[in-house]
A and B are shown apart, each in its own frame.
Chain A
Amino acid sequence: MTRASDMFDRFLNTFAAWALALLWILPLAYAVWTAIHPSAYEANFDLFAPLTTENFVKAWQAAPFHRYFLNTFILVTMILAGQFLLCTLAAFAFARFEFPGRNVLFALVLLQLLVMPDILMVENYQTMRLLNLVDTIPAIALPYIASGFGIFLLRQTFMTIPKELDEAARIEGASVLGVLWKVYIPLAKPTYLAYGLVSVSHHWNNFLWPLIVTNSVETRPVTVGLSVFSAIDSGIEWSVINAATLMTSGPLLIAFLLFQRQFVQSFMRAGIK
């Protein structure tokens, strides 16, 4: 290949990559544009249109978003804490102990990658009714706490840790849980970070199950709150709805822009294992 055609090839690729990137960012950019300008400029592009934060203020006052944010925060923390605890213990058992039924049980754990709790919403709702938990935050969290994905991911990580480290700690008199706490968990930190980011963003964004199991302001997470807010056909301006939309995705979006590298690497790490 000649130098000139190589240059041309490079130029074409760069151009196409940028064109697609601009196309991809366009919907979001449009939402940002309408949210930070007065509603008169919704469909009227003027580079010098006055900027405003009014839309955000209006959205914040029009619906109890502060409560929705608190609910989502509690929900995500609850799920993450539960997942870390249960998945760590289960992954440790699968990675380092021999016991009858191990393979069958592991297959049953992996089955959850296919049959996700969302798909079983009809039965899970009945369970929550039986437990008298409908319209509570734990009801949203419980089906996700034992995550097949989390167990699998941590097991793969734990298996890469040399057994000698484990044995050395035991000779020094550490108990089983002591070994887990002092050897395995510290060495698996990157996996925890990766899994944590994936889990938080997944449950922050989750909608269908929370929609079914909640029906009051005190329990609704932001996604359901947003859908309730934008479903009211009382002529709320688009700029206000867009402001609310950005607000609900805001914390994740900002975290993503700040820690872009970690996010991308986390999703990669969670994927290849």
Chain B
Amino acid sequence: MQTLRLKRDWIYGWLLLLPALVFLFAFTHIPAVTTLLNSFFSTPRGRRPAKFIGLENYERMLNDAVFWKVLWNNLWFAIGTIPVSVALAIVMALWVNDKLAGRSFVRMAYFTPTVLPLIAVANIWLFFYTPGFGLFDQITGFLFGWPASNYLGNPETALNAIIVVTVWKEAGFFMIFYLAALQAIPISLKEAAQIEGAGRWTIFWRITFPLLMPTTLFVCVNAVINSFRLVDHIFILTDGGPDNASALLLFYIYEVAFRFWETAYGATLTVALLVLLSLLAIGQFFFFDRKVHYK
């Protein structure tokens, strides 16, 4: 009887899983494997089929100056967006969690960028950055008398301009997770510390911040993935230019595969991205594992 029940459970379990697994394998796992396989072949063109070329694509990648450039850009993009947006998210959450005058307006203002499409966000900011009569130049011109400047057209500032847009879009999203975590912290902890005479600053660093660690881990993992995934706004703001100054890895993969139609090389670059993502995920897990207090 027991074994019969178990066997029936097996069949039900597998049958229930089947539809989801078919789609998962078809669009995630199998493509991941074929990406790896295709990276060892040449790009098929017309009547010429793909042929095995070993590590030639990887050799090309290592010698590709643009690849190193976009990788470097991506590193800067991550360093520029992650700490700032996470710190802003914590500050926002602390404010919104407080009894603040006009709290619902403030919360709405922080969160609104999250519901806007990144493409729409890019359009709004493109107008903001317009040299001469965009709001950015108008404000800096009015306050400091700065001349009109082309932030997006200058290789020095293009990537930073994109980082600003990304922080604006992401901080409110991460705020939500911190808000949820803050509301789960028992108020008695804070009251006990206050009775002991601890100031706001001490309470934050000694009690609130350590208790937020699991959230910080979750948010950071998300932020790292996002720093490789968010490229929509680049299409509108700079199209990767000038001279690849603001291109990121995924954007470059798009260019290689769908503008130059070099799919095999695109697959090779995708492998690099996948390896990078896995290493980062593993690294973060170990880095945070020691510091996180689980409940």
Q: Which residues of A contact B (CB under 8 A)?
A: 1, 9, 13-14, 16-18, 20-22, 24-28, 30-31, 34, 42-43, 85-87, 89-90, 92-94, 97-100, 102, 105, 108-109, 111-112, 114-127, 142-143, 145-146, 148, 151, 176, 201, 204-205, 207-208, 211-212, 222-223, 226-227, 230-231, 238, 241-242, 245-246, 248-249, 252-253, 256-257, 260, 263-264, 267-269, 271-272
The residue that B128 contacts in the complex, of A9, A27, A89, with Cβ under 8 A, is A27
B120 touches A245 (CB 8 A): yes
Q: List 12 A-B contacts (CB under 8 A).
A: A25-B109, A100-B10, A114-B278, A122-B267, A122-B270, A205-B117, A208-B250, A212-B254, A223-B232, A248-B119, A264-B107, A267-B173
Name which of B58-66, B70-78, B153-161, B177-185 contacts chain A.
B177-185
- Closest approach, in angstroms, between the C-beta of A15 and any C-beta of chain B? 10
Give B135's nearest chain A residue, CB to CB: A30
B17 touches A112 (CB 8 A): no
Give A148's nearest chain B residue, CB to CB: B24
The residue that A120 contacts in the complex, of B35, B98, B101, with Cβ under 8 A, is B35
With A98-B9, A99-B14, A117-B27 in contact, is A123–B267 under 8 Å at CB? yes
A108 touches B29 (CB 8 A): yes
The residue that A119 contacts in the complex, of B22, B177, B181, B270, with Cβ under 8 A, is B270
A127 touches B27 (CB 8 A): yes
Chain B hits for A87, CB < 8 A: 20
Looking at B24, B104, B181, B281, which has the most chain A CB atoms within 10 Å of its CB?
B24
A230 touches B31 (CB 8 A): no
Cβ of B240 under 8 Å from chain A: no
Q: Which of B116-162 contact A (CB under 8 A)?
A: 116-121, 123-125, 127-128, 130, 133-135, 138
- Closest approach, in angstroms, between the C-beta of A227 and any C-beta of chain B? 5
Cβ of B253 under 8 Å from chain A: yes
A28 to B113, CA, bound (A): 8
A158 to B287, CA, bound (A): 31
Give A87's nearest chain B residue, CB to CB: B20
The residue that B118 contacts in the complex, of A105, A119, A205, with Cβ under 8 A, is A205
A249 touches B229 (CB 8 A): no
A86 touches B31 (CB 8 A): no
Chain A hits for B180, CB < 8 A: 268-269, 271-272
Cβ of B231 under 8 Å from chain A: yes
**Consensus secondary structure, chain B interface:** helix
Cβ of B16 under 8 Å from chain A: yes
Q: Which of B1-45 contact A (CB under 8 A)?
A: 6, 9-10, 12-14, 16-17, 19-24, 26-29, 31-32, 34-35, 38
The residue that B127 contacts in the complex, of A102, A118, A146, A238, with Cβ under 8 A, is A238
Cβ of B218 under 8 Å from chain A: yes
Q: Which residues of B contact A (CB under 8 A)?
A: 6, 9-10, 12-14, 16-17, 19-24, 26-29, 31-32, 34-35, 38, 91-92, 95-96, 98, 100-102, 104-121, 123-125, 127-128, 130, 133-135, 138, 168, 172-173, 176-177, 179-181, 184, 199-200, 218, 225, 228-229, 231-232, 235-236, 250, 253-254, 257-258, 263, 266-267, 270, 273-274, 277-278, 281
Total number of residue pairs linking A and B with CB closer than 8 Å: 258
A16 to B96, CA, bound (A): 12
The residue that A122 contacts in the complex, of B9, B181, B225, B257, with Cβ under 8 A, is B257
Chain A hits for B9, CB < 8 A: 97-99
Give A231's nearest chain B residue, CB to CB: B236
- Closest approach, in angstroms, between the C-beta of B151 and any C-beta of chain A? 14
B127 touches A241 (CB 8 A): yes
Chain B hits for A252, CB < 8 A: 115-117
A256 touches B112 (CB 8 A): yes
- Closest approach, in angstroms, between the C-beta of B114 and any C-beta of chain A? 8
- Closest approach, in angstroms, between the C-beta of A59 and any C-beta of chain B? 12
A97 touches B16 (CB 8 A): yes
A135 to B110, CA, bound (A): 36
- Closest approach, in angstroms, between the C-beta of B184 and any C-beta of chain A? 8
With A115-B28, A146-B20 in contact, is A227–B263 under 8 Å at CB? no
The residue that B119 contacts in the complex, of A145, A151, A223, with Cβ under 8 A, is A223
Looking at A99, A109, A114, A121, which has the most chain B CB atoms within 10 Å of its CB?
A99
With A31-B124, A120-B35, A271-B176 in contact, is A98–B13 under 8 Å at CB? yes
A98 touches B16 (CB 8 A): no
